[in-house]
Amino acid sequence: MALYRNRTLLALAFFQVCAGLIEVESILFGAFMSSLGATPDTLGFVLGAGYAVGVLGSILGGRLVDIVGARIVFLGSIALSIVGLVVEAFSPTWIVAAVGFFMIQFSQMSLRPSALRIIAEAFPDSMGAALGFLYTAYSGVAVAGPLLAGWLAQHYGWNAVFMGKAGLYLLAFFVLAMFIPTGGKLASLTQGENLRGWMSVFRRMPLVMLYVAAFIGAFFSYASSFLSYDPRLSASPLALAVFPSIFNLSQLVSSWPSGVLGDKAGYWKIVLGGAVIMGCAWLLFPIPSETVFLYILYLVFSIGSIMSNYIEVLAVKLSPTTGQGLSVGFLDAARFMGFSLGEIFGGMLWQYAGPSVSYLLAGLGYILAYVFLLLSYRSSKES
């Protein structure tokens, strides 16, 4: 239990709570942009460009972690998020709001490699338990986060939403500045290892296979985005609202146990099992006609998805200490590119091939991701 009394972990958990308390998800962001006169095609362009900015943030953020240290990048990313939120709060046009959105996207993606480096340094033997605890802290408040954001927007305006979130981030910034350690010295970064070039991580075949698996898994995650077009759900808002609730509840209940199990049984078993579970869930999805069975299958998928999140731990474990930030940055970049291209492909597939083919192909895609994960595992054992 000493882990859960650690000041670094508690400070990170406090940040997770502050981040989830007022949550502006894609639907609410679309409403905000619409209020500033953005058309649907404009919104699509901004969101698509946001993916590109996120990829850049993950790679640059990861590189900076290895050069200047995780603490500086982590706190700097939070500071940039605060600036972006203030820009959005006082945006007179959608163009200015888009600039704030890009700042937030960049900072949020650069946060990830720095956070994982901090956790790896502070809890090298219990990364899974620490990550599970943080996921649970976030999901515990994020269930109601969009509701609070919507209530603030309706009664006090969008500037109250973004300034409220900026205030929470600022509070978390001061807490983190006090309790996040400086980390190890970076003198070990030599020309012979990570500073030799941006592509140094691609010399490690297990990491390359891991990136391919991450891209494939993200690419075939499109299936849940088009559930509203499934005739079995009749586009019912209430029936559709159950799906994100199932996922949030699954994250709340299973994140922590998955992390603890990963520490004891190995992260490979958790991530490989997650890929198989997700694949089987979508392969079976075309069969049921009753909504309740669709919910059960989505619950199974959600648990597998949460298990697969620990692929980030594998990226840390497979990389040299001096290249952990860049390694995680490339992993997140691969996933972000997969998400972006997968949504486009999924929309076209649903339009021209129908739901059954879309679900089946998504299931096969996760099985393919499992194959590359297995190749990564075997390659890591050989090397």
Q: DSSP readout, 97-161?
A: HHHHHHHHHHHHHHHHHHHHHHHHHH-TT-HHHHHHHHHHHHHHHHTTHHHHHHHHHHHH-HHHH
Spell out the residues 6+ positions from residue 83 whose beta carbon is closer than 8 angstroms to its own. Answer: 103
pLDDT at 187: 41
- Mean pLDDT for the stretch of residues 338-344: 82
Instruction: Name the strand (E) or helix (H) holding 82.
Output: helix 70-89
pLDDT at 380: 87
Band of residue 378 on the pLDDT scale cut at 50, 70, 90: very high
Q: How do residues 216-251 score in pLDDT, each as one tens digit? A: 999 998 888 777 778 887 756 667 767 777 887 888
- Mean pLDDT for the stretch of residues 331-359: 85
pLDDT at 360: 95
Spell out the residues 6+ positions from residue 65 whose beta carbon is closer than 8 angstroms to its own. Answer: 73, 113, 114, 117, 324, 325, 326, 328, 329
Band of residue 130 on the pLDDT scale cut at 50, 70, 90: confident
Which structural domains are found in the chain, ordered by start? 2-179 (1.20.1250.20), 200-382 (1.20.1250.20)
DSSP tag of 196: G
CA 383 – CA 372 distance, rounded (Å): 16
Q: How do residues 82-106 score in pLDDT, each as one tens digit? A: 999 999 999 999 999 999 999 999 9
DSSP per-residue string spanning 198-228: TTGGGG-HHHHHHHHHHHHHHHGGGGGGGGG
Q: What angle, rounded to 10 degrees, do the helices at 40-68 and 26-35 form?
A: 120
Residue with tokens 């739901």: 355
Q: Compute the mean pLDDT over every residue in the chain, rounded to the nearest whole number.
A: 85
Band of residue 143 on the pLDDT scale cut at 50, 70, 90: confident
The encoded tokens of residue 339 equal 């998400």
pLDDT at 50: 83
DSSP tag of 352: H
183 contacts 113 by C-beta, under 8 angstroms? no
pLDDT at 98: 93
Residue 195 has pLDDT above 50, yes or no: no
Residue 33 has pLDDT above 90, yes or no: no
CA 286 – CA 240 distance, rounded (Å): 16
CA 226 – CA 378 distance, rounded (Å): 35
Range with the poorest average pLDDT among 61-70, 167-176, 187-196, 215-224: 187-196
Band of residue 279 on the pLDDT scale cut at 50, 70, 90: very high
pLDDT at 315: 87
CA 29 – CA 125 distance, rounded (Å): 39
pLDDT at 90: 95
Rg over alpha carbons for the chain, rounded to the nearest Å, is 20
